Structure 1
Amino acid sequence: MFDNLSDKLDKAFHILKGHGKITEVNVADTLKEVRRALLDADVNFKIAKDFTTRVKEKAIGEDVLTTLQPGQLMVKIVKDELTELMGGDVAGVNLSGNPSVILMSGLQGSGKTTFSGKLANFLKTKKNKKPLLVACDIYRPAAINQLHVVGDQIGVEVYSEPENKNPVEIAQNAIKHAKANGYNVVIVDTAGRLAVDEEMMTEIANVHKAIEPQETLFVVDSMTGQDAVNTAKAFNDRLNFDGVVLTKLDGDTRGGAAISIKSVVNKPIKFIGTGEKMEAIDVFYPSRMADRILGMGDVVSLVERAQEQYDEEEARKLQKKIAKNEFGFDDFLTQIQQVKKMGNMKDLVGMIPGAGKALKDVEIEDDAFKHIEAIIYSMTPDERKKPALLDAKRKARVAKGSGTNIQQVNQLLKQFDQMSKMMKMMQGAGGKNLMRMMGGMKGMR
């Protein structure tokens, strides 16, 4: 996420390294590189220029603080300004209606339908809501079917009227259905449209007027950069939407949309999509995103994701097994499943301070654990419970069954043994589930 931008900003701050004080000369050199980095990230020229001007005003004349070097001080100023540029405070979603109606809008191919499912799943699992998805895309082939597939995947009902070609009627009927059946959130998925398509823009404006949603979200593909910002402005002029959703932030995005869209439309970014899975949705926190752009990681979000997968009863059982030296590969598989539910591996690594930079050229796949899982699944139940049973003959069988080799099996056994010892030590120190798990997995992929 924003690897290229992060790298260029890091090089810009390097100019101040070794200086004892921030001066007009070294600030000018640094900000020239910062502005260039922002422009390369597809940030609008005026926004980039205004941004560096504000940073310069705050930086000039600043003495080095007791615990900060000039480069660190500049990073702090840039971080604060980036946070402000992206919205400052986190913006929540309005769920005040009964039912609360959320209208999704955006261009064709922006990921509206998939994100509608992600949002429904988010509200169901994290906000304890009962959502209803509504298929109002009457143009795209298989659009209704796609939403039904998404709904089945997350266990959320989808309301559709395949023969009806009036999206206003479909939306209105869906809200009546929601009221009659106890749904407290209605998410209306509309057809993608071009901002220049007057007929389609009029249609969504009519839907908006008819259902009076508590929340209108504009979904935009973050990989389209500055074009996304320009499109957002055109949509906002017609719909006056309440917030922005940035999708595909897990791709090779330059970051221009995330950085500049708030200042152009004066509407907050409310959610981001970070992968293909239904769980790959995050509330947008400007300060946390600024940290990530500057290579500082995002420990708070990492801990929050871990806590969502944390099961106290399972943790207690695990502690007892560790105390009795009974921690086996079945328990390890459970831990792996918890980590996988937290999100894609590259995104998780990016949340660890310094890790994103250290591993920027390392390809981290979502199936990073596949070899480990294959080896474990090739073991018998007794072998998983008591790894000490694995002699040379058994290891050869496991390697053949998992499509790996003896060296890989031995490496896993060695690291598993080291992790088991460490977990026992950490239990005495009161270590938490995630810390035991993540520490032991270091280097195992």
Structure 2
Amino acid sequence: MPRDAQGLELTGSPQSAAAFDRAVADYLGWAGDPVAALQQATTVDPGFALGHSAAALLLLLNGFRGDNPAVTDAIAAGEAALRGASEREALHLAAAKAWASGDIVDAAGVWEAILLDHPQDALALRFAHDTYFYLGQSLDIRDSVARVLPEWDPEGPNYGFVLGQYAFGLEEAGELRKAEDVGRRAIERNPADGWAVHAVAHVLETESRQAEGVAFLKDARPQWSAAHALAVHNGWHLALYLIEEGRLEEALADYDRFVAPRIAGDSLLDLVDAAALLWRIELADGHVGDRWAALAAQWLTRVDDHVLVFNDIHLALAIARAGDAGGIERLKSSLEAYVRNGRGDNREITADVGRRLVDAVIAFAGGDYAETVRLILPVRHKVARIGGSHAQRDLVTQTLIAAACRAGNRALERALLAERLAVRPTPATRAAYEAARARAA
């Protein structure tokens, strides 16, 4: 029986095992097309059990609904291949079925069970990593890797990618010094490791090291751009530094050059980054012109998906700022039906906190700042439930502060800025705080 690059047995042909290794390396490196590689392998080798479930899971993690035919067909083919599969491979299929049914937390539990017996299962480790990110579970992002890292061979082909995952988990858990050290070690092994670059970029942003962050990402752009599926996101991190430094035109120029051409590709991460970037530029009193229209039109093709409420919030950013009244009503109606009739973890998160945030950004875009404050303030400490990173969720905090300012709520504005200044002591935050104190006086 063939084995993968980590030495784990695979049910399938040697050719399928080789295709699996390429797909895993591409997935970890945000490069290539791992789904296509797996689908091609399973077409030739229908008994390649893990290939079917891995393809289904990659589609799900990339925003496909559980009832999408590409997902259901892959799961059905995985079921048909189970007769000769191992227990580990059967568990991977169980995780795919759980995620497709909306049971995201249960899927993560299955991968953790796999990792107890097979700590070098690269797919289980990365699937769990991405899932904890989608759930906003910062400590699990870190600890899932920490539990297995000693079992990985430092000389193995994918060890650097695991270091990059660990670096991001450390950053999200607040261990910034260790995160930067581990992340830079991963980059030394592989300068094109986009996720490790991303982890260090998070550290620099969290510590308000904007000038250093700009230099770091600009100097390494030829390398991290090779991780094409993450290139827009790392460029988004560069934009965060530029916005904080007041270099709005430079951030917009990068948007036009690197982000706008990718919108039609319908990558959810690219669409999220595009919406968040334009919104933040406007919060900083920048002008984005008619850039919202094309982005809103693309987002509306996803209006009924409701895979993650994190995505729905960014959809709302785009259609609200594009002034698409019909799109706003479509989203509200679809969300109401989803909360009423849907099931699963994302439905619960949507009902608990996500729906209020969708309504809040729509209110903000419509100029109802007092309503924005009313909607966000009671749930601001539950925002982690929508998933994403601390840096991504900071958009909610920035929107709340701007809403308090524009609503004339001087006491709240000053208090929120003082809170922010304590954790992000940037020149822009300090200037905003001093201006708020002056207005309050």
TM-score by length of 1: 0.29
Task: Identify the structure with bigger relative contact order (alpha carbons < 8 Å, sequence gap 6+).
Answer: 1
Q: Which is strand-richer, 1 or 2?
A: 1
Larger radius of gyration: 1
